[in-house]
Amino acid sequence: MAERIYIFDTTLRDGEQAPGISLNQREKVEIAEQLARLEVDVIEAGFPVSSPSEFEAVKAVAKAVKGPVICALARTERNDIDWAWEAIMFAERPRIHTFISTSEYHMKYQLKKTPKQVLELARDAVAYARKYVENVEFSAMDATRSDPKFLYQVYAAAVKAGATVINIPDTVGYALPDEFAELVKGVMENVPGIENVLVSVHCHNDLGLAVANSLAAARVGARQIECAVNGLGERAGNASLEEVVMIINTRKDYVDLTTGVNTREIYQTSRLVSMLTGYNVQPNKAIVGDNAFAHESGIHQDGVLKHRVTYEIMHPEDVGLVESEIYLGKHSGRHALKAKLEEMGFYLDDKGLERAFIRFKELAGKKKEITVKDLEAIALDEIRTLEELFQLEYMQSSSGTGAIPIAAVKLSREGKSYEATATGDGQVDAVCKAIAKATKVKAKLVSYQVQAITKGLDAMGDVTIKLDIDGHEVVGRGVSPDIIEASARAYINAINRGIQKGLLEKKKLARKAKAGTRSKVSSRKAGS
Ligand code: KIV
Ligand code: ZN
């Protein structure tokens, strides 16, 4: 019988480490709830010690999400482990994941510790975490560039101290599939007690081999694969969850493995993560890209029409891609919209539903046919913007041949209004400048991208904007049938993320500190 692979999702932790991503508490819970519907085995909700907002978000996930194990990351420091436990203690099935680097490069240049110290820290951290919880995972960071003999010793110490999961990360995406499989086999053959724990792998995609490496490891006995939706993660990302799962599913005949994932939730999960992180999925991405099931050439279309099996190795329905008809129009009411959204898996609260309803009515007035993708875009935009600090209340922009583009905006934040007008090189530029003026946030535009959500000239526009605020990148996204409004929403979304990340507060504090130093200097001068 096919053996079970446990799917450990790290979208909310390693995935969130991708540049520009910063999910707020509500968004993390939303994604975690979707991951539970996807039926992953473990959700790594975050790294609680990294910031108070991260701690609160992990805690909210642990309290709200039922089903999967909820895991929190911690370095091998006791303080990290205390915070991790505080965050996940209310989870139905909590796990602490502690890690330390074991490669010469990391130990010598980053940690500045001897192998003996690293071994002691690993042992102590696992034992300490076990005082809180039975389920403890230990990772040897940069395992693929570590001395295997030392790696065996560290893993042996972790197992002896009570680790229940031993994770082998290819942190820098350096390994090749055969080589990685050899390493995993080596660990399984040389670490005393390893037969009593779950062996896991965590592969990065720097050489495009994360999925291949994960599969190679599973073929020699690893039984947990760490991955992220849409392959998000540090640098080139982590192994892509949808690829790992669908390979195992489609090639059961060859790999003789199985997962517990409900593959029909894959597409919805990918869309949710893409919208909330601001990371678009490339059209030719395996499994979830727009073209993954599109047959373009005549020969292929002919074959598929005659029999699907000619060119289709998976069915689009298997990953949840269904073309459903919707019968909502400008006469539909709130209840019909709510029912349709819930059927699609979106559960908005009263405030979110009210705003979604207003936008739905506006859209119905402009567009002949409302599609599932339109509704999905509105719902996701509401989920994303519900906790926003600045909200767009009103905007107007005008331009014309020979005229200078001008925009006026009115925003609100905590009951106060902020208004401004500005001119620009184009209407998008003018509206962004007006928002920058109204919010008093100085940001540099790094990139601007627009894509149509559906086909046709009346399609909704989906705008992604990347800003640089004080050297930190933030990504914002907005949708609307009006591209200028979608751009305004994306710009405001990015600014709000900057605020949520504390970037602007840090800037203010730094300015105050500088002003303080200056006034001290000048008063000293005045006194002398
Ligand atoms: O890539 C890595 O090594 C990690 C560890 C924390 C598991 O993300
Ligand atoms: Zn990683």
For residues 257-269, average pLDDT: 96
Residues with CB under 5 A from ligand 2 (ion): 14
Give, for ligand 1, the residue of 44, 49, 99 to mutate: max count of ligand atoms closer than 8 Å to Cβ. Answer: 99
Q: Read off the pLDDT of each residue in 471-494 and give the average, rounded to a whole number.
A: 90
Residue 439: predicted pLDDT = 95
Q: What does the pLDDT read at residue 507?
A: 56
Q: Name the residue with tokens 């995609």.
A: 205
Check residue 362 and give its pLDDT.
86
What span, in angstroms and rounded, lies between the C-alpha atoms of 217 and 182? 8
Q: Find the mean pLDDT for residues 435-457.
A: 88
Does residue 99 have its Cβ closer than 6 Å to ligand 1? Answer: yes
User: What integer pLDDT is reported at residue 185 of this predicted model?
Assistant: 98
- pLDDT at position 24 over 60: yes
* Rounded Cα–Cα distance for residues 3 and 166 (Å): 18
Q: Do residues 454 and 432 lie in contact, with contact meaning Cβ atoms separated by under 8 Å? A: no
Residues of 337-352 as b/e, b for ≥16 C-beta within 10 angstroms?
bbebbeeebbebeeeb
Atom of ligand 1 nearest to the CA of 17: 8
Ligand 1 site, residue 171, Cβ cutoff 6 A: yes
User: What residue owns the CA closest to ligand 1's atom 8?
Assistant: 14
Q: Which of 111, 204, 235 to mutate to test ligand 1, by most ligand atoms within 8 A of the CB atom? A: 204
Report the candidate in 266, 496, 522, 302 with the shortest Cα–Cα distance to residue 384: 496
pLDDT at residue 400, as a whole number: 84
Checking if the pLDDT of 29 tops 80, the result is yes
The Cα-based distances of 76 to 34, 121, 141 in angstroms read 30, 6, 11
Give distance in angstroms: CA of 101 to centre of ligand 2: 12
Which domains does the chain possess? 3-277 (3.20.20.70), 334-384 (no CATH), 388-513 (3.30.160.270)
Does residue 499's CB lie within 6 angstroms of at least one atom of ligand 1? no
Beta carbon of 139 within 6 Å of any ligand 1 atom = yes
For residue 21, pLDDT beyond 50:
yes
Q: Specify the long-range contacts of residues 186-193, CB closer than 8 Å, at least 24 apart.
A: 186/148, 186/152, 187/151, 187/152, 187/155, 188/220, 188/221, 190/148, 190/152, 191/152, 191/155, 191/156, 191/159, 191/166, 192/156, 192/159, 192/160, 193/156, 193/159, 193/160
Alpha-carbon distance 133 to 156, whole Å?
20
Average pLDDT over residues 99-113: 97
Residue 435 pLDDT: 96
Ligand nearest to the CA of 233: 2
Q: Of the ranges 7-11, 88-92, 115-119, 479-483, which one carries the lowest mean pLDDT score?
A: 479-483
Task: Name which residue sits closest to atom 5 of ligand 1, judged by CA.
Answer: 141
For range 400-425, the mean pLDDT: 93
Per-residue model confidence as pLDDT tens digits over 185-241: 999 999 999 999 999 999 999 999 999 999 999 999 999 999 999 999 999 999 999
- Average confidence (pLDDT) over 456-463: 80
Give the best-scoring range by mean pLDDT among 126-140, 305-319, 355-369, 381-395.
126-140
Nearest CA to ligand 1 atom 1: 171
Distance 198 CA to ligand 2 centre (A): 18
Q: What is the mean pLDDT of residues 271-299?
A: 87
Asked if pLDDT for residue 522 goes beyond 50, the answer is no
Q: How far is the CA of 195 from the centre of ligand 2 (A)?
A: 24
Rounded CA-CA distance 481/464 in Å is 14
Q: What is the pLDDT of residue 304?
A: 73
Report whether residue 202 contacts ligand 1, using a CB cutoff of 6 Å.
Answer: yes
Burial of residue 468, with CB atoms counted within 10 A of its CB: 0-12 exposed, 13-18 middle, 19 or more buried: middle
pLDDT higher than threshold 70 for residue 526: no
Q: Give residue-wise pLDDT tens across range 357-403.
A: 998 888 888 777 788 888 888 888 777 666 668 989 999 999 888 88
Nearest to 33 by CA among 486, 345, 282: 345
pLDDT tens per residue across span 212-227: 999 999 999 999 999 9
- Single pTM value for the model: 0.83
pLDDT for the residue numbered 485: 93
Q: CA Rg, the chain, in Å?
A: 25
Higher local confidence (pLDDT), 372 or 246: 246
Residue 14 near ligand 1, beta carbon < 6 Å? yes
- Answer whether 141 contacts ligand 1 (Cβ < 6 A): yes
* Selection from 36-40, 323-327, 390-394 with the highest mean pLDDT: 36-40
Lowest model confidence (mean pLDDT) among 162-176, 409-423, 429-443, 496-510 = 496-510
Q: What atom of ligand 1 comes closest to residue 13's alpha carbon?
A: 8
528, pLDDT greater than 80: no
Question: How far does CA 445 lie from the centroid of its chain?
Answer: 22
Q: What pLDDT is stored for residue 355 in this prediction?
A: 86
Separation of alpha carbons 103 and 174, rounded Å: 13
pLDDT of residue 305: 76
User: 479 falls in which pLDDT band (50, 70, 90)?
Assistant: confident
Listed residue (16, 28, 44) closest to 165, CA to CA? 44
What is the per-residue pLDDT for 261?
A: 98
What does the angle CA 369 – CA 375 – CA 376 come to, to the nearest 5 degrees? 135
Cβ neighbours of residue 339 closer than 8 Å, sequence gap 6 or more:
none
Q: What is the mean pLDDT of the chain?
A: 90
C-alpha of residue 496 to centroid of ligand 2, in Å: 27
Residue 10 and residue 42 in contact, taking contact as beta carbons nearer than 8 Å: no
The DSSP code for 281 is P
Residue in this structure with the two tokens 């076990």, named with its chain if needed: 130
Query: Within a 10 A sphere around the Cβ of 325, how many other Cβ atoms?
Result: 6
Q: Which of 20-34, 39-53, 380-394 has the lowest mean pLDDT?
A: 380-394
With bands split at pLDDT 50, 70 and 90, how would you rate the model's confidence at 510?
Answer: low
- Mean pLDDT over 340-359 rounds to 84
- Is the CB of 169 inside a 6 Å radius of any atom of ligand 1? yes
Please say if the pLDDT value at position 324 is more than 50. yes
Is 518's pLDDT higher than 50?
no
Among 78-92, 223-237, 459-473, name the one with the lowest average pLDDT.
Answer: 459-473
pLDDT at 504: 64
CA of 232 to the centre of ligand 1 (A): 13
pLDDT at 524: 37
User: Which range, of 68-82, 284-298, 321-335, 445-459, averages the lowest pLDDT?
Assistant: 321-335
Q: Which atom of ligand 1 is nearest to the CA of 99?
A: 6
Residues 21-38, mean pLDDT to the nearest whole number: 92
Exposed (0-12), middle (13-18) or buried (19+): which is 69, by Cβ within 10 Å?
A: buried
Q: Return phi, psi of residue 108, to 5°.
A: -75, -50
444-452 vs 391-400, strand pairing mode: unpaired
Distance 9 CA to ligand 2 centre (A): 11
Confidence of residue 517 (pLDDT cuts 50, 70, 90): very low
Q: What is the mean pLDDT of residues 481-495?
A: 92
Give the distance, in angstroms, between the CA of residue 218 and the centroid of all CA atoms in the same chain.
24
